Structure 1
Amino acid sequence: MPQTVLITGASGGIGRATAREFARRGARVGLVARGRAGLEAAAEEVRGLGGEPLVAPADVADHTALHEAAAAVERHLGPIDVWVNVAFTSVFAPFTEITPEEFRRVTEVAYLGFANGTREALSRMLPRDRGTIVQVGSALGDRSIPLQSAYCGAKHAVNGFTSSVRTELMHQGSNVHITVVQMPAVNTPQFSWVRSRLPRHPQPVPPIYQPEVAARAVLHAAAHPRRKQYYVGASTVGTIVANKFAAGLLDRYLARTGYDSQQTGAPAHPHPDNLWKPADADRDHGAHGVFDDSAHAHSAQAWLPRHPALTWSGAAGLTAAAATAAAWLHRTRRAG
């Protein structure tokens, strides 16, 4: 029996790539986002790959609109088995250059949008006592960086919120599961349509991965949701481990490097952004951003959980890497 999946932020980036992965498995896919052109193009891809799409435009910050989108998905495609929260927006700027209205908007989409989606999913899954919610998180939900205070705050909030909901489900003995997939830097269109006050074109902090890497991890997490979190990319694991052992050192390192590493050498040019209006309402931008030449199409670290026979050796390798990172950070701190 084909699964019914609802994906927010499905018109571009990780959401778009995730829709394609589920479609390859014959899923019925509810596509939720604001941009009509992006949604229609995503629906064509889902259909072409063997899935059954339904376009359901909605702003995830509007819980009423999200409720109506979910109702349409279940009315046309059947009960939702998997709900994937992806949608977000952001502002690239120092905190003092972000207006209160902009900060609130990012929070409403990137954090409250996840809460709205989770609430809507639970209202449908709990009575059936089955279903899976996948939160697309970020390494920045554990380790904040400069110039992304609103986004980092939202991703930290998603982690805390999700842990609370998970323990409530456990208390109830529910067969509904919730998990988080923590992502690295990903080559999505957001870096061309995000609101930015930086002097140069924004970029993800290398190493950069293609959205298909993230999408495969989401698919695996949806099929194996009992694990609390999944980590995509060695950079994600390294960042989280380093932050546990030497957060102060990372503060100083990011203070020195975090501005330049988030900008290309090209000057910024005025462009429409997607903070208040969708950037793909009239033109489809696809899943990929402009960093194809430097983005990795595979992640060995993300590959390991999908191959259980190698999980123990992979875990041992990560443990050794963590120990090495900790020792290096300790020596660096003492030397400083």
Structure 2
Amino acid sequence: MEMGKSRVLIVGGSGYIGRRIVKASLAQGHETYILYRREIGVDIEKLQILLSFKAQGARLIEGSFSDHRSLVNAIKQVDVVICTISGVHIRSHHILLQLKLVEAIKEAGNIKRFLPSEFGTDPAQMANAMEPGRVTFDDKMTVRKAIEDAKIPFTYVSANCFAGYFGAGLCQPGSIVPSRESVCLLGDGNAKAIFVDEDDIGTYTIKAIDDPRTLNKTLYLRPLENILSQRDVIRIWEKLIGKELEKSTISAEEFLTMMKGQDYAQQVGLIHYYHVCYDGCLTNFEIGDEGEEASKLYPEVNYTRMDEYLKRYL
């Protein structure tokens, strides 16, 4: 471990974004701890991910959200806590876990920085989001209020669209592999979104944890060349495969009507697509004094462009 680098505890280290953050923490020379929660039971895949990180030098600390003392004890061993537990649209459960973590951090009293489980759209920009999708943003704002009320130093990470979920499906809900035949445009397909490689999310997040410029601010991941519309992403893919896709379109009204027939969790996710692809909610505001942009702070990070990202699907 290099001098002056914080010791990091990652909660949710076996998850989709969590494992990228563990990888980045180890790569950047931090003493890295992962909370091993008994709640994973016999989930052998999660356990094997944790053991593979242990083999790479991470330390597993046992703790449970149903045992406040174990959380406090784990937190006392580190300087920074990063929570990456997934919401999966289960409102009370997700928010309750994070609020328990906030209580434990407050009691421990030694944490220099807490990064709650955000990594998506900035909830502070989503006050007018539609039901039921707004539940995600309301939850995140509840956690933020608890953090700020407890006077815990923080950084919020707004990573915008995960490239694997959003870019690979050419911005179509329910698709994670780009079609070689056809694509459905959401509206005119010109609203700008922001696509970020999941490994780059990990890299930028870890770079920010000891940076005084990101203390008590939101870190926005807006890599310039990855601010693209759905049509831009489709053009990149068409160029890669050497053919034009057949295009159809779905209007905002049709999209909302189609959404109403889905179950609750799907409706939550579809509302997020709606605000990104019809409203352009990721790019319709300027980053103010309360935020910093990651690719400007860390120009040395050679982030993955979407043409490179999509090559893996050829």
Residue 32 of structure 2, aligned match among 15, 28, 35: 28
CA contact (8 A) 1:146 1:259 kept: no
- 1: CA distance, partners of 2:141 / 2:66: 24
Q: Secondary structure at the match of 2:154?
A: strand
- Equivalence for 1:275: none
Q: In structure 2, what is the equivalent of residue 9 of structure 1?
A: 12
Amino acid at match of 1:39: K
2:112 to 131, 140, 153: 131
Q: Distance in 2 between matches of 1:109 and 1:144?
A: 22
1:101-112 residue pairs with structure 2 within 5 A? 106-112=90-96
How many angstroms does 1:52 deviate by?
Answer: 2.6
- Paired with 2:296 and 2:219, the residues of 1 have a C-alpha distance of 11
Query: Aligned partner of 1:64: which letter?
Result: S
Q: When the two structures are superposed, what TM-score results if normalisation uses the length of structure 2?
A: 0.54
Matched pairs, number: 216
* CA deviation profile, 1:71-115 (whole Å, cap 9, x unmatched): 5636xxx61211112212324xxxxxxxxxxxxxx1223323222
Report deviation, 1:9: 2.1
Q: Structure 1: where are the runs of 5+ without partners?
A: 92-105, 170-175, 190-199, 240-252, 263-267, 269-300, 309-336
In structure 2, do the counterparts of structure 1 residues 44 and 161 end up closer, same or farther at CA, with 3 Å as the change threshold? closer
SS of aligned partner of 2:174: strand
Secondary structure of the 2:215 match is: coil
Equivalent residue, structure 1, for 2:174: 201
Tell me, yes or no, if structure 1 residue 149 matches structure 2 residue 125.
Answer: no
For 2:174, give the aligned amino acid: H
In the alignment, the residues of structure 1 paired with residue 163 and residue 128 of structure 2 have an alpha-carbon distance, to the nearest angstrom, of: 18
Q: What is the CA RMSD across the aligned residues, in angstroms?
A: 4.4
Whether contact under 8 Å (1:40, 1:55) holds in the other structure is no
Q: What is aligned with 2:106?
A: 122
Distance 1:41 1:261 in 2: 40
Query: CA–CA distance in 2 between the matches of 1:222 and 1:122?
Result: 18
C-alpha distance in 1 between matches for 2:221 and 2:135: 20
| Inter-CA distance 182–148: structure 2 relative to 1 (3 Å threshold) | farther
Deviation at 1:17, TM superposition (A): 0.7
- The answer to which structure has the higher helix fraction is 1
Query: Are 1:30 and 1:73, in contact at CA under 8 Å, matched by a contact in 2?
Result: no
Q: Which residue, 43, 56, 59 being the options, matches 2:62?
A: 56
TM-score by length of 1: 0.51
Instruction: Return the alpha-carbon distance in structure 1 between the equivalents of residues 127 and 175 of structure 2.
Output: 17
Contact map agreement 2:63 2:74 (CA 8 A) in 1: no
Which secondary structure does the structure 1 equivalent of 2:126 belong to?
A: coil
